[in-house]
Amino acid sequence: MVFSSMLFVFLFLPANLLSQVLLPSPKAKNIAMLIFSLAFYSWAGPRYLLLLVGMVFICWAGAILIQMSDTQGRRRLWLCVTVGLCLLILGVFKYLGFILGNVQSLFGVPKVIPQIVLPIGISFYTFQLISYVADVYRGQVQAQQSYWQLLLYASLFHQCIAGPIVRYKDVQSDLLRRRTRPEEISAGISRFAVGLAKKAVLANGCAAVADQLLLMDQTAMAAIPAMGVLLGAVVFTMQIYLDFSAYSDMAIGMGLMCGLHYRENFDYPYMSGSITEFWRRWHISLSSFFRDYVYIPMGGSRCGAVRQLFNLLVVWFLTGMWHGASWNFILWGLYFGLLLAVERFVLGPEGQRWLPQVLRHGGVLILVTFSWIIFKFTDMGLLGTAVKGLFGLNHNGFTSGAVSLLFKNNLFFLIFSAIACTPLGRWLRSGLRAMGEGGGLFGAIDAAWDVLHPAVLLILAAMALVGDSYNPFLYFQF
């Protein structure tokens, strides 16, 4: 089940919200939420629910043992054992096939590589549980004595599948003393409707265009003209933002409806003036996880330039690996690691300020758009063909009538999608709200907008989803 499905929007979610509004106590709400979350996670098959339940048990027991230990050495031992077991499980399910495949290509063994299905959401809930155990070790939170409460935290269907990566300390008080407030329910409905429309109308529409240009067949990809590859890369750049930020919007909105407050995961990253700023705005929960639990513990920026560079590349190697067991993701992570190293050690703050703002923004968009080509193709041969095609090295020509027609037929849709990647809508909404504070006509328009726009967006999304079988979430694969 996905958020952008008719079954979820018009049956599962209303039933869940009704339980949260009608049940009187936080305990009762939590029991209902746990039942809904486990049902949601096991919808495609219950077998991997056991894996989630088992990993939560490991971290529940590990955190209690850490808190009970009377010496630092024992605390560190239980931390390493608990985190090590979580990473081992993640490694087996996500990376074993990739590792054995590379060993086989080098040495010819093993003859048979086991086909292991990747459990949905495993990267997200593993990192959430690791952050919880690490925070208990640091003394930032108390170990949760109730196993079921920790299972609820890890399995919350709002964000268990594709984030954001929620830290236990951010929702601990909400889970214990949860209330559903009318104003937050209203804000949550609005946020969910925006995310659903962003996904069903814009992200899916961009996907339909990008998939006509960034093809999964090497011969066909080689024939796409250079402008076609560029257009495909630009549209995929919009698609991946609209798709992933839509999921985060819906997760944050559903959390608000139920009295849970999740942090923002995106802040219009394509408005950034540097790669460093881009990663402060893109997938904030992941980049902050690596900063707080990997980069800073390794020494961060508190050491010499060589060690800083090493720390940076390790973090970005792991960031690439987190996204998938494929060489293109490793290359994608190291690509950003090198760009960040150039900004820090070569350009520096003064060097970046020397460039005009328009050039900084334009440069970031070019570099990020190219990065999504690396991200798109898990087949390295296809990736090489796409990069060569971008520069016309496949004897593929500059453009074609088919590419021009595709662009013209989708021009207004692509313009609207590009606007949706900017904070223009938020600025206009803030302006309308400011003008409506004094009442009068603008006050009436502002009030009407609050009531009508979620309904309009839900109708548009439902119209887009009816009969549309092409409805993937890109980050489900991670």
Residue 327 φ/ψ, nearest 5 degrees: -65, -30
Query: What whole-number distance in Å separates Cα of residue 412 and Cα of residue 7?
Result: 31
Q: Which residue has the tokens 């029991």?
A: 31
Q: Which residue has the tokens 């950034």?
A: 272
C-alpha closest to that of 264 among 332, 353, 166: 166
Q: Radius of gyration of the chain from Cα atoms?
A: 24
The number of beta carbons lying within 10 Å of the beta carbon of residue 88 is 10
Catalytic residue among 158, 261, 283, 323: 323
C-alpha 338: how far from its chain's center?
22
- Residue 274 carries which DSSP code? S
Contact 116, 96 (CB under 8 A): yes
> How many residues are listed for the chain in this entry?
478
Query: What whole-number distance in Å separates Cα of residue 284 and Cα of residue 16?
Result: 28
User: How is residue 279 written in tokens?
Assistant: 């990663």
Catalytic site includes residue 395? no
- CA 200-202-208 angle, 5° bins: 90
> In this structure, which amino acid lies at residue 337?
G
User: How is residue 238 written in tokens?
Assistant: 């919009």
Query: What whole-number distance in Å separates Cα of residue 78 and Cα of residue 209?
Result: 50
- CA 206-211-214 angle, 5° bins: 120
Work out the end-to-end distance of the chain between its first and last CA atoms, rounded to an integer number of angstroms: 16
Q: Cite the active site residues.
A: 323
